[in-house]
Chain A
Amino acid sequence: MAQIVVYGVITGAFYGLAAVGLSLVFGVMRHMNIAHGSFLMIGGFAAYWLFHLLKLDPFVSIPLVMVILFAIGAALYKGLFSHLDKLPEGLKINNSMLVGFGLTWVIDNLAIMFWTSDVRAVTPSYTGKVWHVLPGLRLPVVGLVIIGIASLVIFSLYLILTRTYFGKSVRATAQDRDAGNLMGINVERTYLISFALSAALAGIAGVVAAVNYSVYPTVGFEWLLKAIIILVLAGFGKIGKVFAAGLLLGIIEGVSVYFVGATYREVVGLVIFILVLLRRST
């Protein structure tokens, strides 16, 4: 049983990592970035190609992947989403979801065109290594790295948001956009940077996915599904709870798979999602 919990924690850490970017964007701009999954996918492929072409260890390539995705996110925001800025909130949310949906379509199909639908994984030399702690308790090395990365990323984000001027301006803008402007905060630029940052965060998750799972052009939607469930579980815009929500989902999934079998794994998440919605709506 303890083994199941361990795997659940690893999965959960990944879920939290995958969701944190989505949470950031929604918290700051009330924008549900449907294309988030595709950013993850790009991150995964970037890690794959860097590994195969440059022999770059995936975890070492994370900073580079972050930069790539930051640039892509910034370009997409500037080119597309910024046009929706002037709209009233309801319409803005709706249209940004539609654009995000369209973007996913375009990006995923571009990926199929350039990289084929083949499944890829990054398998560095330490992939199978396991650390035997106790009899019956095995800790995969990669899994520990994932937990470490997820913790580091989320903690760093927390520090940035609470200790730096930039982070405070992001939180302020999220709470009251006009007042933010009146403080001299360039709100449009803040939005741009937040969006690009969330893409970079998705990229990190993508690298992890490439190593621990696998990537293929349409994998984005599956990870988006998980991220959405985490987001609703944690409460919109609360980054601190995202990690906890991820761990919770990971463990619950792991435990129920043990009892119910792997076929219904996704249903577990979905049921939790619906239950949370029910609770919110009453």
Chain B
Amino acid sequence: MGYSKKGFVITGIAILLLILFPLVAGTQHTLNLFIVLFITVILAQSWNILGGYAGQISLGNAAFFGAGALSFHFLAWRGGLPLYLALPAGGLTAVILASFIGIPALRLRGVYFAIGTLAFAEALRITVGNLFPLTVYIPTAQIVSYGLLSRYYLALMVAVITQGVAYCMIKSKIGLAMMAIRDDDEAADTSGVHLFKYKFVALVFSSFFSGLAGGIFAYYQDSIVPAFLFTPQWTFEPLVAAAVGGSGTLLGPMIGSVFLIILTELFALTLGKAYLIIFGAIFILVVLFFPGGLIEAAERIRKSIFG
């Protein structure tokens, strides 16, 4: 949790470093890595607000990601909409789509929302695969003028915005309401907390930013297979990042994403598919035995050293 002044200073320095980094030490490889990291952070925090703070487990964030990516692709590359319009539009599309499943499902118990999002993402994946079976490409004009740097800064900016909005939301009344719902929704209900409203706010945040992440991805990739955008990995990896980092904390998703990306870098080539399995196993162990994730582990270490 950001401890006011000190937290802001550290955050500011970190952002500054990230801004300067490409100019100083950026190679193509590292820039790509960071872009993927930023996208993961956005997705992880999106999941975290809904699942870690509001207690609504979503198993289908891929739907929001994919919707954002696909609509960005059509609006920007086919429709000619400028970047700064197409990206939010992608986010908005995701929100609208999320409402289809969210409005009925959030009124019911958590199980319905989880399986509802799961079903939603899977149904979209298959349908999109049927509608758009072919790979789609960035228009050639864009390939010619492709700038990795601009992608980097866009992703960084959106990631910072995501964290910022998340921070403001969590520190406000909204965040308190969400956590009350997560911890004991019946008690929250009887205390007058409007359950559906706050769950829905969390859903809007989650789907909007996931949609933005999708748009960034569509902007970044030169070609995509539409159905691929909706595959479970887009739900699962950010989920793992958030949970392993520490769900229900603001820094957890970031730390978890960094952890995930570093491990991927180190092991993807050497272990191939095996590293995915290792992540899955770590995730399961965290859920079962270390629910607070890395953040909690760090807290415990800090306490045992400093008392």
Binding site for B on A (CB under 8 A): 32, 34, 80, 83-84, 90, 93-95, 97-99, 101-106, 109-110, 112-113, 221-222, 224-225, 228-229, 231-232, 262-267, 269-270, 273-274, 277-278, 280-282
Contact = CB atoms under 8 A, between A and B. Distances in A.
Please list the 4 inter-chain residue pairs (A to B) with the smallest Cβ-Cβ separation, ordered nearest first: A277-B104, A106-B280, A281-B107, A263-B130
Nearest to A103: B284
Contact of B287 (A102, A105, A263, A277): A102
B284 A80 contact: yes
13 contacts: A95-B291, A97-B114, A98-B283, A102-B240, A102-B284, A105-B232, A105-B283, A221-B232, A265-B126, A266-B122, A274-B100, A274-B101, A281-B105
Contact of B119 (A262, A265, A273, A282): A273
B276 interface: yes
Nearest to A277: B104
Contact of B118 (A224, A278, A282): A224
Interface of B: 55, 57, 59, 100-101, 104-105, 107-108, 110-112, 114-116, 118-120, 122-123, 126-127, 130-131, 185, 232, 236, 239-240, 243, 272-274, 276-277, 279-281, 283-284, 287-289, 291
B230 to A, nearest CB: 11
Contacts of A106: 277, 280-281, 284
Contacts of A101: 59, 236, 239
B122 A221 contact: yes
Contact of A270 (B123, B232, B284): B123
Contact of B105 (A93, A269, A277): A277
Given A110-B277, A264-B127, A280 B108 contact: yes
B108 A102 contact: no
A282 B260 CA distance: 41
A132 B291 CA distance: 59
Contacts of B126: 222, 265-266
A85 to B, nearest CB: 11
B280 A103 contact: yes
A190 B232 CA distance: 32
A278 B111 contact: no
B287 A98 contact: yes
B288 A99 contact: yes
Nearest to B240: A102
Contacts of B284: 80, 99, 102-103, 106
Contacts of A262: 130
B100, B273, B280, B289 — most chain A CB neighbours (10 Å): B280
A84 B120 contact: no
Contacts of B55: 90, 94
A189 B185 CA distance: 31
B7 to A, nearest CB: 29
Contact of B127 (A32, A83, A229, A267): A267
A245 B274 CA distance: 39
A105 B276 CA distance: 8
Nearest to B107: A281
Contact of B280 (A105, A232, A264): A105
B59 A34 contact: yes
A99 B119 contact: no
Contacts of B243: 98
A265 B131 CA distance: 11
